[in-house]
Chains A and B, each alone.
Chain A
Amino acid sequence: MSGRVLVGVKRVIDYAVKIRVKPDHTGVVTDGVKHSMNPFCEIAVEEAVKLKEKKLIKEVVAVSCGPQQSQETIRTALAMGADRGIHVEVSGKDYDSLGPLQVSKILAALAKKEEAQLIILGKQAIDDDCNQTGQMTAALLDWPQGTFASEVSLEAEKIKVVREIDGGLETIKINTPAVLTADLRLNTPRYATLPNIMKAKKKKIANVKPADLGVDLTSRLEVLRVDEPPQREAGVKVETVEDLVAKLKDTGKI
C-alpha cells in the first residue's frame, strides 16, 4: 500500500495549565495561555512518520483547523517528519463553535481532494474529550475505522489494528482506505528538535477555507453556560455508627 496519509492535529490548551472560566461564562480563558499539540495527535503524527520511514506510505500531510496560531501546531508536525501541511482557517465565533461534526466534514472533504489512503487522528482531544471526530469522518467517507489503536500493521491491502477496549485488546483487520485513531500506547512520539524546526520552516503549509471545501460550519450545538465544577467539600469524620446515622438523617440523605 502506498500513497498519502492525512494526519489531523489539534491545538489545545497545554495539559499542565490550570484553566479559568471566562467571567461571562461562555468558555475558558485562552488568550495568552500556553497551548500545545493534543498529546494523542502527537502519537498520530509519530505513527504516520513511522509508516513513512518503513516505506509503507509515501507522504504525510498534517491538517489543522483553527485560527492563525494553528500553523505553529502544523509546524511541529512538520518538524516531526510530516511532508507538508494544510491549514484550514477557522477563527472567531466559528472557531468557538467548531466541533467534531464540522471537523469530520472538513477532513472527509480533504481526504477526497487529496486522494488520501489513510487518515490517522488522535482518539480524542484533551479539551473537549469528545472522541467523535475519527468515527464521524469514517462514517462520512463510508470507510472502515480502527479506533483506540495500540498497534497498527499494514498487510497487503489490509490493515491489522489492535484496539484497546474495555474488555482488553481486540484485533481486527480492515480494508483500506480507512480511518485510524491513536491511543496512548501506540508509540512514544519523537521530540521536534531545533534543526527539524528550522527545516520545517521551508516545508509548505497550504491555506484553505472551509467554504472552498463546501463545508457548512454551523454548529448543531449551542453552549448555554460554562461553569467550574463545584468545590469539593471537606469530609467529616465521625466516631460511632450512631453519629453516622444521625449525620445522614441531618443532611436529609436518609
Chain B
Amino acid sequence: MLAPFATVFSLAAHRCIRTLTTLQTDHVVPQLYTHVHRRACSSLSTPRITTHYTIHPRDKDPRWQDIEMERFADEADVVIVGGGPAGLSAAIRLKQLANQHQKELRVCLVEKASQLGAHTLSGACLEPSALTELFPDWKERGAPLNTPVTDDVFSIFTEKHRIPVPILPGLPMRNHGNYIVRLGNLVRWLGEQAEELGVELYPGYAASEVLFHEDRSVKGIATNDVGIAKDGSPKDVFERGMELHAKVTLFGEGCHGHLAKQLYKQFNLRENCEPQTYAIGLKELWVIDEKKWRPGRAEHSVGWPLDRHTYGGSFLYHLNEGEPMVALGFVVGLDYSNPYLSPFKEFQRWKHHPFVESTLEGGQRIAYGARALNEGGFQSIPKLTFPGGLLIGCSPGFMNVPKIKGTHTAMKSGILAAEALFPKVTAENLDSETAGLHVPEYSDNLKTSSVWKELRSVRNIRPSFHNPLGLYGGMVYTGIFYWILRGKEPWTLKHCGIDANQLKPAKDCTPIEYPKPDGKISFDLLSSVALSGTNHEGDQPPHLTLKDDSVPVARNLAIYDGPEQRFCPAGVYEYVPVETGDGMRLQINAQNCVHCKTCDIKDPSQNINWVVPEGGGGPAYNGM
C-alpha cells in the first residue's frame, strides 16, 4: 500500500518528510513509512510502542538509507547458540573427541549473558549421570556439586497444615543419589572446562538472526547489532553484528528460544508433535538462621495456595556450601485459566505457609529470578534436525516434568549431538546434499537413548492432571501407572493445546485477593526485580515486540484485564492511563526484563514476540 504512495512524492518532499521523522518522539504520530500508519488513521490514539526492526524493517526506513549494513563474517566448524548446560556439554564433547582423534575443530559458542551462568536459573536437584559421562573425574576437577541429597520431604499443603506424603522408592520425586546444585555455578565451571579444551566462548554476544544458504539450509548465525536508539534510528556508536558461519549450528537457547521459534516455522519441525506447554518458575535464595539449616534436605509441596485445577508446586533445597543458604521457588503451570492469577504473588504468599515461614524466619533474601520451563515432555518433542542445524537441551524440551529435572537430559542431548555430528563434520569428504550439514543420526541416537526411555515412561503424568479431580486425580494416576506400572500403559494422553488459549475472559473469573507483602518474608515486585540485577542499555528498541501495537488495549485489556501485568515476574508490562483524555495504554518497561519468556508463551493474543536485546543485557544471576 505504501510503496506506490511513496513514489508519488518528489525528492524534495522526501527530504521534507525525512526531516519530519527525525523530529518525532515516541508518542507522536507514527512514521509515515510503516504499516502502522494504516491503523493510525483509524485509531490515532494508539501510541507507538514497537520500534524494533523485526517489526519495522530498516530497508524501507529513510533513517537507515546511508548506513553501512555490511557484516564481518568468520568461519567455524561448529557454532553453538547458548552457553547453558546443553550447549556447553556439546562443546566440551566435541573438543574431547577432537583431541582424542587428533583433529582440528573450531567450536565457537555465543551466549547473550555477559558471563556464563548470569542467565541460568534452576532449582536445582541434579542427576549426575550426564556430568559423569562428560567428566568421570568431575569431583577431582572441582565441579560444584557440594550437597548430596540426604532427605526428601513431600507435602500436600492446606492453608495452615501439611499432609506428608511418603516418597517411596520408584516415585519420580525421589532424589537419592542426586545433588542440590546452584546451576549457575555449575555452568560457570563447565565454561572453564570448555575454555581449557579450546572452545571459543563469547559471552555478551547474542545470536539474533539465523543465516541461510541459497539452498535454504542453515549457514550460521549473526550476532546482534549495537547502537540502535529507542526509536529505532541508528546512533553514532551503531555497529553491525557479526556473522558466524558453520558447517553445523547447534541451537541451545533454553526453554522457548526465539531463534528456535523461527526455525520451527522455517523447517516445519512441529508438524508431528503436540504444541509445547510450559510453566513459570520463580526462585529466591535466602541466607537463613543457622538453627533452621538442614543441609541436604529437599522439600517439595503441592496444593495451597493453588487450587486443584492449577498445576504447580514448590521446592525448597538446603544447600551445603558454607553459608546456611536455601534455594526455594514456586512453579505454576502456564495453562492456568484465571487471568487474575499472578504467579509472583502466589509464590510470595506460599512463603507464609507455617511450614515454610518457620524456615525463613530471621533470614535474609539475597537473590530473585524467574524463568519459564517446559512441561510438554515426550509428546511435545519436535523434529530435532534440519539441514545445517540441530536443537539441543530445553529448547526442544527434554524435561522430566514429575521429577522437575531437565538438566541431565539437556546435557545428554548435547553430548549425543556432539557425538553424532563429529564424524560428519571432520570427514575427509563432506558428503552432503545441502550446504549446511544435516545430522539426522542425532535424532536417531536420541530415540534409542536413556533420555527417550525416561521421558516416555513419565509422558502421561502431566496430562493426567486434566481430569475433574485435578491435582488429586493426577496423583492417583501417577501412583497407579507410574509407580506400579512404570509408564508402560499403551496409551498416550494429550495436552490441552497451547497455554495462550487456556485463559478465560476476565468477566467469567473472580479476581484473587492477594495479601500485601510484609517486607520480611514476602516482598513487592520491584524490590525483587532489583535483586535479579537485571539491566539493559536504556536507549535501544524494546525487545518485547508487538506484532500489532493496538492489540494489548483492544484485546488483552478489554477481554482478559491485561494478564501480562500479572504473569510477568519483572513488572515489564503496565497499563497506565493515557496522558490526555480517557483510556489506557500499555507501557513496556523493557529494562526490567529477566528473559523468562513467559509473555511470549502466555499472551492470549500471541501478539508479543520476544527477541533478543543487545548482548550483555538481562539478569546478573550469581549461582542461581
Binding site for B on A (CB under 8 A): 14-18, 20, 23, 31-34, 36, 188-191, 193-195, 197-198
Say whether, besides A16-B534, A18-B533, A34-B115, A191 and B239 are in contact (CB < 8 Å): yes
Whether B114 contacts A34 by the Cβ 8 Å rule is yes
Compute how far the CA of A20 lies from the CA of B366 in the bound complex, rounded to whole angstroms. Answer: 8
B293 at the interface (CB under 8 A from A): no
Docked Cα-Cα span, A18 to B528, in Å, equals: 11
Given the contacts A23-B323, A34-B118, A16 and B202 also touching, CB distance less than 8 Å: no
Write out the residue numbers on chain A whose beta carbons fall within 8 Å of the beta carbon of B74: 195, 198
Chain A residues near B110 (CB-CB < 8 A): 194
**Which of B117, B205, B237, B620 sits near A194, CB closer than 8 Å?**
B205
- Would you list 8 pairs from A and B whose C-beta atoms are within 8 A, ordered by A residue? A14-B535, A32-B117, A32-B188, A34-B114, A34-B622, A191-B226, A191-B227, A194-B241
Contact with A along B360-382 (1 / 0, CB 8 A): 00000010000000000000000
- Min CB distance A33 to B, Å, is 5
Cβ contacts under 8 Å, B237 to chain A: 188-191
Name the interface residues of B175-233: CB closer than 8 Å to any CB of A: 184-185, 188, 202, 205, 223, 226-227
Nearest chain A CB to B55's CB is how many angstroms away?
23
Check B620 against A34 for contact (C-beta < 8 Å).
Answer: yes
A-B contact count, CB below 8 Å? Answer: 58
Report the bound CA distance from A189 to B74 in whole Å. Answer: 25
Taking CB as reference atom, which chain A residue is nearest B205? Answer: A194
- Contact status A17-B533, CB under 8 Å: yes
The answer to whether A32 touches B623, judged by C-beta atoms less than 8 angstroms apart, is yes
Please give me the residue from chain A that is nearest to B527 by CB atom. A18
For residue B72, CB closer than 8 A to chain A, the reply is: yes
Residues of A within 8 A of B622 (CB): 31-34
Minimal beta-carbon separation of B366 from chain A (angstroms): 6
Q: Within 8 Å of chain A (Cβ to Cβ): is B530?
A: yes
CB 8 Å contact bits of B61-72 with A (1 = contact, 0 = none): 000000000001
Residue of B nearest to A17 (CB): B533
Residue numbers in A under 8 Å from B226 (CB-CB): 191, 193
Considering the chains assembled together, what is the distance between the CA atoms of A36 and B534 in angstroms? Answer: 14
Closest Cβ–Cβ distance, residue A148 to chain B (whole Å):
23
Chain A residues contacting B534 (CB-CB under 8 Å) are: 16
Given A32-B622, A197-B202, 9 more A-B residue pairs with CB atoms under 8 Å apart are A15-B535, A16-B535, A18-B533, A23-B323, A34-B114, A34-B118, A190-B239, A191-B237, A194-B242
Q: Do A33 and B620 have beta carbons less than 8 Å apart?
A: yes
Asked if A14 meets B533 with Cβ closer than 8 Å, knowing A20-B366, A32-B117, A34-B620, the reply is yes
Contact between A194 and B223, CB atoms less than 8 A apart: yes
A195→B242 contact, CB < 8 A: yes
**In the complex, per-residue mask of B478-495: 1 if CB is within 8 Å of any chain A CB, else 0:** 000000000000000000
Report whether A188 and B236 are in contact in the complex, using a CB–CB cutoff of 8 Å: yes
Q: How far is the CB of A111 from chain B (nearest CB, A)?
A: 30
- Contact (Cβ within 8 A) B242 A17: no
Q: 4 tightest CB-CB pairs across the interface, nearest first?
A: A16-B535, A34-B620, A17-B533, A191-B226
A residues in contact with B530, CB < 8 Å: 18
Contacts of B323 in A (CB 8 A): 23
Which of A20, A36, A198 sits near B114, CB closer than 8 Å? Answer: A36
- CB-CB < 8 A to A189: which residues of B? 237
Instruction: Verify if B134 is at the interface (C-beta below 8 Å from A).
Output: no
Which residues of chain B are near A195, meaning CB under 8 Å? Answer: 72, 74, 242
Return chain B residues, CB-CB under 8 Å to A14. Answer: 114, 533, 535, 620
CB-defined contacts of A36 to chain B, threshold 8 Å: 114
Taking a contact as CB atoms closer than 8 A, the residue among A16, A31, A191, A197 that contacts B620 in the complex is: A16
Report B531-550 residues with CB < 8 Å from chain A CB: 531, 533-535
Contacts of A31 in B (CB 8 A): 622
Cα A193 to Cα B241 with chains together (Å)? 7
B333-386, CB < 8 A from A: 366
Q: Nearest chain A CB to B242's CB is how many angstroms away?
A: 4
Q: How far is the CA of A197 from the CA of B205 in the complex (A)?
A: 10
Closest to B536 in A: A16
**Min CB–CB distance A39 → chain B (angstroms):** 12
Chain B residues, CB < 8 A from A18: 530-531, 533
Q: How far, in whole Å, are A14 and B533 apart by their CA atoms in the complex?
A: 9
Looking at the assembled complex, report how far the CB atom of B288 sits from the nearest CB atom of chain A, in whole angstroms: 12
Question: What separation, in Å, do the CA atoms of A32 and B620 have in the docked complex?
Answer: 10
Q: How far is the CB of B263 from chain A (nearest CB, A)?
A: 22
Q: Across the interface, which residues of B come within 8 angstroms of A15, CB to CB?
A: 535
The chain A residue sitting closest to B616, CB to CB, is A36
Closest beta carbon of chain B to A101's beta carbon, Å = 30
The answer to whether B223 touches A17, judged by C-beta atoms less than 8 angstroms apart, is: no
Residues from chain A with Cβ under 8 Å of B205 in the complex = 194, 197
Cβ < 8 Å to A, chain B residues 96-122: 110, 114-115, 117-118
Q: When chains A and B are docked, how far (Å) is the Cα of A58 from the Cα of B370?
A: 49
Give the distance in Å from the alpha carbon of A201 to the alpha carbon of B160 in the complex.
59
Which of chain A's residues have a CB closer than 8 A to the CB of B531?
Answer: 18
How many angstroms between the C-alpha atoms of A190 and B531 in the bound complex?
28
Q: Which of A15, A16, A32, A194 has the most CB of B within 10 A?
A: A194
Residue of B nearest to A76 (CB): B204
Tell whether, in the assembled complex, residue B533 and residue A32 are in contact, meaning their CB atoms are under 8 Å apart. Answer: no
What is the bound-complex CA distance between A17 and B227, given in angstroms? Answer: 23
Q: How far is the CB of B343 from the nearest CB of chain A, in Å?
A: 22
A53, B60: Cα distance in complex, Å: 33
Contacting pair B533 A34 (CB below 8 A)? yes
- Bound state CA distance, A16 and B236, in angstroms? 24
CB of B362 to closest CB in A, whole Å: 14
Docked pose: A127 CA to B239 CA in angstroms: 30
Q: How far is the CA of A36 from the CA of B323 in the complex (A)?
A: 26
Q: How far is the CB of A13 from chain B (nearest CB, A)?
A: 9
Residue-wise, chain B 593-623 has the 8 Å CB interface mask toward A (1 for contact) of 0000000000000000000000000001011
A242 to chain B, nearest CB (A): 31
Chain A residues with CB below 8 A from B287, complex form:
23
Within the complex, the shortest CB–CB distance from A17 to chain B, in Å, comes to 4
Query: What's the nearest-Cβ distance from chain A to residue B365, in Å?
Result: 10
Count chain B CB atoms within 10 A of each CB in A18, A31, A33, A197 and give the residue with the most: A18
Within the complex, the shortest CB–CB distance from A188 to chain B, in Å, comes to 6
CA–CA, A23 and B321, complex, Å: 14
Residues of A within 8 A of B72 (CB): 195
| Distance A132 CA – B623 CA, assembled complex (angstroms) | 34
**In whole Å, how far is B524's beta carbon from the nearest beta carbon of chain A?**
14
- Which A-chain residue is minimally distant from B227 (CB atoms)? A191
CA distance A188 to B237 in the complex (A): 8
* B459-474 to A contact mask, C-beta < 8 Å, 1/0: 0000000000000000
Give the residue of B114, B117, B188, B242 whose beta carbon is less than 8 angstroms from that of A193: B242
Query: What residues of A have a CB within 8 angstroms of the CB of B223 in the complex?
Result: 194
